[in-house]
Amino acid sequence: MKILFHALALPLAFHFLSLAHAIPSPEAAHGGSAQATNTTDDAMTITPRQSSCLSTGTQSTINALFSSGGANTIVSLCPGVTIPITAPVVFTAPGQELSTQGYPTDSSRATILIQPGSTVTSAIRGNWQNNVKVLNIQVDGNQPNAGYFGGDALLEMACGRMGSITGATDGGIVIFGSPGSHILRNTITSSSSGLQFGGINMVDPTWSGNYSGVVVSSNTITGGPGSFINLGIGMGSQVWSNPHPETNFGQVTVTNNVFTGNVGFSIVMNGWLGGLTVTGNSVSGVTTPSSSFASASGCGAVQQAAFADSEQLVYYPAGVTGSSGPNVIQSQFTALSTNASNWLCLTNPAPPLPDTKSFLPNTLSVDASTSRVVSLRDFHVQVQGDGNVVGIDTTGGVWTVKWASSRFSSACGPDGSQCLLAFGIDGNFVMYDGNGPLWASGTDGSGQLLTFSREPPWVTVTGSNGQTLWTIGNL
């Protein structure tokens, strides 16, 4: 039918519509010619078990097909096509399927591509429709162009078998409490930029946290390069950034998933009741150390310790108990002794500190109550409460004083605030204490730039031609 529609001219389209009019229905009876423009050929042709494929369209095309087709409608995308979307594809009835024709497993899988500039954070939504399937599809979050949006997951499925996902935005797949979902043979890849939260998440207590019969197997979750996945698979009410008092439950199988590249934590489990089988998952391809691609500085102590050890598989045994079935958990898991939640805490690593830092006149004024003058790479300069100004190398956590002004004062005040180091508006670099200037560079009228460096000569004042007027060694 689809082929007929594409091949045949408009008059025949009306002919088909007249056939539709023969079927008594309120829409058909009153649609008139206006309905012709709204009734797409695809809407006419895609029916359950239909064998032709959709070669072009947007989310509107697919959504119209699902809406009109009802339960068990299969929307089959032609191999190799890219469907640009500016809003989610939405399943509307049980048993609906979105797939690539012929179910290829290679790059000929059809791609759902989030359009640049759109604010879509979920590409496909199947919320609370039973037995929905997404098979052999690639979903591209188009992150570098579409930007980062907080909030949703790339695929939000109540129940379903997934295809393949690349460029997840916030979470790759969120399985809302939904018995019987199958998440099989997907590829979830973080995009080339942006913060990636989760790959597959079973953390929400929606539908009272019932995940009975969920199977998550043979998925590949890859972070980076240039980005990372914070958490590959999160299981339990105590894993997400907003832990819930409810405990998720159900006999769930998480097997033979492969984690590679920049993944902060591969599997974390806490807040689960009843029968987990978590075996055969591979983390050997994950980038180590984790600190090479992410920072845990915003995490709790437990997460920081696990991150520092590049622990990929962690669970809290007391938070993963089996009342309706046994737990079978692969031996590589690290058992936490603390009930730690919020594993979505990783951030991009702080940018490296500079080797030098310069100040124009009148832009530096630091007293000994603040102490820190500048922070450089493995190096900092501080004003001490005794008036001494020192440059300290901190490489490897070992503090080595590289230089010191060695001009001490007993007039810094009880909190040190009377000892003030300033590069004045006149270009003079001066150390004051409660009695007045303690020492100065003497570059008033000629000093243009004050530079601190982690290398000798450490501190310099330069003039208008960049010539060195003074260094800390001149003191």
Ligand X SMILES: *[C@@H]1O[C@H](CO)[C@@H](O)[C@H](O)[C@H]1NC(C)=O
Q: Least Å distance between CB 220 and ligand X?
A: 28
* Nearer residue to ligand X within complex by CB, 215 or 404: 215
Q: Least Å distance between CB 347 and ligand X?
A: 23
Question: Cα 115 vs. chain centroid, distance in angstroms?
Answer: 18
* Nearer residue to ligand X within complex by CB, 79 or 126: 126
* Nearer residue to ligand X within complex by CB, 172 or 319: 319
* Nearer residue to ligand X within complex by CB, 19 or 425: 19
* Nearer residue to ligand X within complex by CB, 215 or 392: 215
* Nearer residue to ligand X within complex by CB, 178 or 290: 178
Q: Least Å distance between CB 404 and ligand X?
A: 49
Q: Least Å distance between CB 424 and ligand X?
A: 55
Q: Which residues bind ligand X (CB under 6 A)?
A: 31, 34-35, 38, 179, 210, 212, 238, 243, 245, 318-319, 339
Q: Least Å distance between CB 38 and ligand X?
A: 4
Q: Least Å distance between CB 321 and ligand X?
A: 8
Q: Least Å distance between CB 318 and ligand X?
A: 4
* Nearer residue to ligand X within complex by CB, 180 or 413: 180
